[in-house]
Amino acid sequence: MKVRFFVATVAMGCVVSACAGMDTRTHPERDLSAGPDADYGKIIAVDRWAQRKGAGLVWVNYPKLPARELQGKGGG
């Protein structure tokens, strides 16, 4: 009986630790340092594409929204 309990405990520990290590975010977090004129739609799309391909991604210059879209947001 002790052996079965021990095996069950170890198995549950493995299951719980596997779940704890998973990335459960459905959306990449927005980097608020990108600024209000950053094109977050494009940033998220490129981040997801890179994640699917297994590539690492570091943004040096964030893509900016076109001027006509900024006018609608009060940015110019």
Predicted model pTM: 0.48
**H helices present in the chain, as ranges:** 2-20, 40-53, 67-72
Mean pLDDT per 10-residue section of the chain, whose length is 76 residues: 83 72 55 75 90 89 78 56
- How high is the pLDDT of residue 29? 56
Q: Could you tell me if residue 74 is left (phi over 0), alpha (psi between -120 and 50 degrees) or otherwise beta?
A: left
- How high is the pLDDT of residue 72? 60
Measure the CA–CA gap between 51 and 73, rounded to whole angstroms.
30
Q: Of 26, 24, 32, 30, nearest to 43 (Cα)?
A: 30
- How high is the pLDDT of residue 59? 86
